Structure 1
Amino acid sequence: MKTVAVFDVGKTNVKLSAVTPEGALVETLSAPNHVHDGPPFRHHDLGGLEKWLLDGLRDLGSRHTIEAIVSSAHGSGGVLVDADGPALPMVDYEQSVPAEVEDEYRRIVGSYRERGSAVMLGAAHLARQMLWMERCWPAAFGRAQAFLASPQYWAWRLSGVAASEVTSLAAQSHLWSPADGRLSKLVALKGWGHLMPPMRNAWDVLGPLKPQLASRTGLSPETRVLCGIHDSSANFYRYQAGGLSDLAVVSTGTWIVLLTDRTGVDFDCERPGHACNADIMGRPMPGMLTMGGREFAAVAGEARGPASLGIVKRLIETRTLALPSFGSDDGLFPGTARQGRLEGPLADDPEARFTLAVLYAALLTARCLADLPPARTVVLDGNFVREPLYGALVQALVPQRQVLVSLEAAGTAAGAALLAAHETRRAAAPLAVSKPDLTGIPDLSLYQPRWLEGASAIRAQTLEPIH
């Protein structure tokens, strides 16, 4: 069986999967994405990761015929490279930057239209990482030849060809204006244009696998290396390739990432949680971004699933609420960072905590959906859909939409693999989705506004109330 090897780089873990060209997952290997404290800053272990990748390709290639390799990754990873390899390590995006760098960055980064996202915490944006490197490691920055988003870094290591790609740069890098489909003005202001390689399509073949790597892995010297893609855009493409449109896709994990193909958003107006990404054709995709996985973990604590429909009913009857936000990020509700709390008679009941976390995640998802132009179809994907009640609660909260739940364990890997046949596909790729079971789901029409009122009460007094 011919397969595509998909290297998916997450913040905490990495996966290497063999996937059919039609998007069916065959086998997956996984490992932690190790981080070192320094020097020169907290960073990912690129050398160890490369060895794991090459060993994994040899392992998978011993059982499957790998005809192409494609990488996908989160949007906050990038590598400054020179002729020989990394000029500096890959920054852990949760690493803080020096105050003087942060102050300068906020002064020069530009409008929301230029950024496509809020200015988030830590070193979350590739442009901010570049400014830090330029200011604090000028020699390394001066000899660099390119700054590559994570998917394109791995494509470069495998093929030797450097490229930029629209979905990766549009994913809150602040190097690209997704609304206008061009490099941001910050790139010209800082004179960084020479570090941005030519733009290529996510599905473009950059070249064959380097001969020494073909020998190292046992793969064919003709194995194609694709340019690569941002993970959420890959997940969205999975459903585009399946023939869906008028669509919103909710990817769930560390982040809740919502993307839609609907238009009508004012990109000159910055609003909490809003972002703008791009699909593989470079078209702007309005979106929402909030750290739902971290919020879920804070509410669930040590509790484990499954969620209980009976407890959902008790939570609603007793008006027990999880109110945002528990993490260091305001998310959808400015002024609420680290102020999250549990309220109501079941707030201290350990048996209710996991179910309360699922209900809270569904409320966050519905809030994201309410803030974007309404799409006819909503697809839920990722870690949260392993809990059946999550999809049912989202459907109950947005009854006017058609909610579908992905039955695939790896939508990102499937979407990335489908790129290998992008130019030759003649029919819609098969989809595995289902409608949530609403049997017994209680009425949430009073609970949802009560939750919003509670969130509004938590916010700093100087901020506008939530409407």
Structure 2
Amino acid sequence: MRERPDARIAVLDVGKTNVKLSAVCQDGTILETVSVANRVVDGPFWREHDLVGIGDWVMSSLTELCLRHDITAVVTSGHGSGGVLVGGDPDHNGDGAALPMIDYEQPLPEDIRLGYVPLSGSFFDRGSALMLGATHQARQMYWMQQVQPEAFAKARWFLGVPQYWAWRLSGVAVSEATFLGAQSHFWNTVERHWAPIVAACGWQALMPPFAAAWQRIGKIRPALADRYGIARDIDVLAGIHDSSANFYRYQAAGLEQATVVSTGTWIVALSSTVALARLDEHRGMTCNADVDGRPVGGALTMGGREFSLVAGQQAEGPPVSIETLLRLVDRGTMALPSFGDDDGLFPGSAGQGRIVGPLPGDPAERKALAVLYTALLTAECLDALGSEGLVVLDGNFLREPLYAGLVAALRPGRETLYSLDAYGVASGAALLAGHATRRDKAPIALNTPVSIAFPSIPGTGDALAGYAQRWRRLSRSNTQLHTDTQAHPKPGNMTERSTP
């Protein structure tokens, strides 16, 4: 990479809902971000992503960024539930795909679901429980192979989302540990070998050689650079899983021992210190990988989606007041899991979400209940990982001022900090460009949550502690509650369980 103080990194972050392109300083400071919806369309075999349309947007937006910033490298990142089966030419059919990219949030045909299960291997082969729908990349591959064998047989590579876009830009195909470690079902992170399904289905030749996330795999393809009028000497890095990029931001800042909780559609807690024997696939726990390919324990649940269901139309309303929060705790009004088709940390709870105690009296109380509920889910993730040390919270939930204070109050005597940086994935991905030469810790701004005072209850601590104890007991119970209960309707479009 060209070494200049004013050099900038372009980060392409492909999320399930939106695609973002950012210009980032070498220290991770975001200068500019543009975004577009990640469009999904109905196809003949499955819902598919509009890779041609996204590709046109990526290149035109990158061209504009290069006019405004001295871009010297591009780093790609993406959600862990997608990949693309490609041919040998990135420009073939406009997107290089041998078959359309599958939208993971859709049900599987029953024969595909049943045929895949016995091939999926052990927990460490998978890195997670068997989730619903088309979540796992290996399950997408299996689906493609079964319904389109002729097109499948002509494919050259299967690439995870970040590596696909790196290939589109550079023409170089690689595999990468953080993405394969994001419950792809291709890679056993603990033992560092391909999962048995790869050989069983004859996929070995479709798996390109490994590269580290920070490795420069090539330059922008000359034909692509000339077509869009950008410099030919821009480096393209191998790319990284989005949650792993955010985790790397804290590693680069010297916080390797911290448990990081990222919040958005999913609550994702990652810890490099959890014992592997503690990981329980039946409680939403996962085995991921960091940028060095080492195992990272995880716990995840679809908290953001559930927040919206509990809060209702008030989800985007004014911040929750402490008075409303205290009123709900005092009354014992609580939301119990789970409001979607994902069990999360509570096996068998999918679709069983309900409200117990006096029902929320107005939209403000519904939103306060949603904040309480997601704070409790966060604490449950941390308990599952046995996180006794520093915890850092970040992501969308921090827009609600009381969220961090609630999580801190639910783990008294232990350190909880939070970051208000809304672009942690882009910052972490950009820091990869300096991985090999970094001598100092990367800067990061962390805040201490505001303390929330709850009434004291003799013999049991404060009111929140008693509330949380009862919430955990009821959440773990399979007993159907008949009093003060309101069943929550299952959302019609939530038929899948998936990873971020």
Change (3 A) 1:142 1:300: same
* Residues 205-251 of structure 1, C-alpha deviations (whole Å, 9 max, x = no match): 11010112222343321100000000010000000000112211111
* Residues 297-328 of structure 1, C-alpha deviations (whole Å, 9 max, x = no match): 11011002311111110010000001110001
1:454 counterpart = 2:465: no
* Residues 90-146 of structure 1, C-alpha deviations (whole Å, 9 max, x = no match): 110012221111001111101112111011111000000000111110011100111
The one-letter code of the counterpart of 1:409 is A
Deviation at 1:401, TM superposition (A): 2.3
* Residues 35-62 of structure 1, C-alpha deviations (whole Å, 9 max, x = no match): 0011231011000000010011011111
Does the CA contact (< 8 Å) of 2:136 and 2:185 recur in 1? Answer: yes
Change (3 A) 1:29 1:334: same
Question: Paired residue for 2:73, among 56, 61, 68?
Answer: 68
The one-letter code of the counterpart of 1:322 is A
Does the CA contact (< 8 Å) of 2:279 and 2:286 recur in 1? Answer: no
Instruction: Find the counterpart in structure 2 of residue 163 from structure 1.
Output: 174
CA distance, structure 1, for counterparts of residue 370 and residue 113 of structure 2: 33
Alignment of 1:65-464 (within 5 A): 65-84=70-89, 85-266=96-277, 270-303=281-314, 304-440=317-453, 443=462, 444-458=464-478
CA distance, structure 2, for counterparts of residue 61 and residue 460 of structure 1: 59
The one-letter code of the counterpart of 1:105 is Y
CA distance, structure 1, for counterparts of residue 479 and residue 443 of structure 2: 45
Aligned-partner SS, 1:371: helix
Does the CA contact (< 8 Å) of 1:262 and 1:286 recur in 2? Answer: yes
CA distance, structure 1, for counterparts of residue 43 and residue 18 of structure 2: 19
CA distance, structure 2, for counterparts of residue 79 and residue 93 of structure 1: 12
CA distance, structure 1, for counterparts of residue 335 and residue 292 of structure 2: 39
CA distance, structure 1, for counterparts of residue 173 and residue 263 of structure 2: 30
Does the CA contact (< 8 Å) of 2:278 and 2:385 recur in 1? Answer: no
The one-letter code of the counterpart of 2:42 is D
TM-score, normalising length: structure 2: 0.90
The one-letter code of the counterpart of 1:238 is R
CA distance, structure 2, for counterparts of residue 80 and residue 460 of structure 1: 45
CA distance, structure 2, for counterparts of residue 212 and residue 355 of structure 1: 54
Aligned-partner SS, 1:47: helix
The one-letter code of the counterpart of 1:90 is M
Does the CA contact (< 8 Å) of 2:217 and 2:238 recur in 1? Answer: yes
Does the CA contact (< 8 Å) of 2:279 and 2:285 recur in 1? Answer: no
Moved more, 231-240 or 336-345: 336-345
* Residues 367-389 of structure 1, C-alpha deviations (whole Å, 9 max, x = no match): 00001132411111111111121
Segments of structure 2 that go 5 or more residues without pairing to the other structure are 1-5, 90-95, 456-461, 482-500
The alignment's C-alpha RMSD in Å is 1.5
CA distance, structure 2, for counterparts of residue 249 and residue 147 of structure 1: 30
Moved more, 152-161 or 295-304: 295-304
CA distance, structure 1, for counterparts of residue 23 and residue 34 of structure 2: 9
Q: Percent identity of the aligned residues?
A: 54
Aligned-partner SS, 2:247: helix
CA distance, structure 2, for counterparts of residue 254 and residue 366 of structure 1: 17
TM-score, normalising length: structure 1: 0.96
Does the CA contact (< 8 Å) of 1:149 and 1:168 recur in 2? Answer: yes
Change (3 A) 1:28 1:357: same
The one-letter code of the counterpart of 1:343 is V
Question: Paired residue for 2:28, among 23, 28, 31?
Answer: 23
CA distance, structure 1, for counterparts of residue 37 and residue 281 of structure 2: 35
CA distance, structure 1, for counterparts of residue 337 and residue 478 of structure 2: 8
Aligned-partner SS, 2:477: helix
Aligned-partner SS, 1:305: coil
CA distance, structure 2, for counterparts of residue 89 and residue 297 of structure 1: 31
CA distance, structure 1, for counterparts of residue 136 and residue 210 of structure 2: 19
CA distance, structure 2, for counterparts of residue 339 and residue 371 of structure 1: 21
CA distance, structure 2, for counterparts of residue 270 and residue 42 of structure 1: 28
Does the CA contact (< 8 Å) of 1:265 and 1:373 recur in 2? Answer: no
Instruction: Find the counterpart in structure 2 of residue 465 from structure 1.
Output: none
Aligned-partner SS, 2:277: coil
Change (3 A) 1:270 1:440: closer
Segments of structure 1 that go 5 or more residues without pairing to the other structure are 462-467
Instruction: Find the counterpart in structure 1 of residue 494 from structure 2.
Output: none
